[in-house]
Amino acid sequence: MKQFEVPTFYRSPLLSKIKAQRKVADPRKKDFTPSELQIGDFTFLIARHFGFCYGVENAIERSYKALSENPGKRIFLLSQMIHNPAVNEDLTSNGIQFLQDTNGAQLISFSELTPADVVLIPAFGTTLEIEQQLKDLGLDIQTYNTTCPFVEKVWNRSEKLGETDHTIVIHGKHDHEETRATFSHAVANGPALIVKDLKEAHFLAEVIRGQHPQAAFFDFFKGKMSAGFDPKQHLNKIGVVNQTTMLASETQEITDYLRACYMDLYGEGNIKNYMADTRDTLCYATNDNQSSTLGLLEEEADLAIVVGGYNSSNTSHLVELLERKFPTYYIKDATEINGTSVQHFNYHQKEMQQTEAFLPLQEKVRIVLTSGASCPDSIVENVMYQLLQTRYTESELNALLAELH
């Protein structure tokens, strides 16, 4: 796989070494058990896969390339490059300006842009409508288009589904940048509908079975379907694709549930006439990170820490998995840890919380550790050191770290 040029301050020498060792020992990525790192009284159970994925590294490389290749020019990002505050703050500190926020609200009017400006498309991609607006202004949006190749793969699959008269069902959050972009590309090729979770899939299956009037369907999926959507016509033949940062297992669960609905109605032998096989659209990096998180759940530990941006969909899903077993703290970086107190994000209630004495009192502590696909390894390393500093002086810690080399 391609090696990207990412600024060294995003890297962690310690974690890079662990990742390299696992890659050599398990080149086919079949082993999802965590790496175990003991430092003093702390044992860190580090996810087999975590941190920057292919799409994120590609986006960061192109962003810094745009900066180096365009001195003196105004450089804009359509919206946040990725959902990590440290990365976005670094880009803005280098002079890159955001045109929109994550919800699509305009921060700088497109009318202020000129053909001499540089505009970067983020890793999530963008809608066809915005692409056309930028092209009409004479802007080059391809040279520094950082759309993740796996997002584009979903778009390409949606196009094929439309060509075969399938309605495109998108498993995603309708207000997320990536899903807004995927929806735009999908409706250019056929009817489309956004389903957030299995609960919404259950309602959709009831509509397919004729258990709800059309008015109930339109009310339930308001703002989540293409114009002119006709449930009687457009739910006869579907294909499911996803926002690549959603739980892959949930996408499969939704697909299997809808498939069972069609088999009940029309028989197993006729399923291909009603539902496309779209397993090939699931993002490998999301699968690997989530499989690695399931591997963490096989372990025994005192707590789990997940590091990443609070608006990061893929990171929140790692939290969702780990909190099934461990007290789980979702933090953006080491500054959230202050001695034995931690400030962490409750993604269910969308608010910050503070927990005192979050570290157990016993001598030996086992901590599950992972991060989202947009989180630099250097931030994870700093979290480890901040945890260690709750028990060790700087000199003691340096001595412990020296033993690792």
pLDDT over 70 percentage in the chain? 99
Average per-residue pLDDT for the chain: 93
pTM exceeds 0.85 for this model: yes
Structural domains in the chain? Answer: 8-53+285-402 (3.40.1010.20), 54-136 (3.40.50.11270), 150-282 (3.40.1010.20)
Active site residue 178: yes
Top pLDDT among 87 and 116 is at: 116
> Is residue 387's pLDDT more than 70?
yes
Strand (E) positions, 28-172?
A: 35-39, 42-46, 75-77, 97-98, 118-120, 167-171
Per-residue model confidence as pLDDT tens digits over 184-237: 999 999 999 999 999 999 999 999 999 999 999 999 999 999 999 999 999 999
Q: What is the mean pLDDT of residues 54-70?
A: 92
Q: What is the mean pLDDT of residues 23-46?
A: 95
Per-residue model confidence as pLDDT tens digits over 257-273: 999 999 999 999 999 99
* pLDDT tier for residue 112 given thresholds of 50, 70 and 90: very high
Which positions ≥6 away from 57 have C-beta within 8 Å? 4, 6
- Amino acid 405: pLDDT: 66
* pLDDT tier for residue 280 given thresholds of 50, 70 and 90: low
Q: Please name which of 73, 121, 78 lies closest in space to residue 97, comparing C-alpha atoms.
A: 78
CB distance 292 to 298 below 8 Å: no
Per-residue model confidence as pLDDT tens digits over 178-188: 999 999 999 99
* pLDDT tier for residue 84 given thresholds of 50, 70 and 90: confident
Q: What is the mean pLDDT of residues 1-13?
A: 84
pLDDT over 90 percentage in the chain? 81
**Active-site choice (57, 131, 177, 178):** 178
- Amino acid 82: pLDDT: 76
User: For the chain, what percentages of helix, strand and coil (3-state, to nearest 5) are there?
Assistant: 45, 15, 40
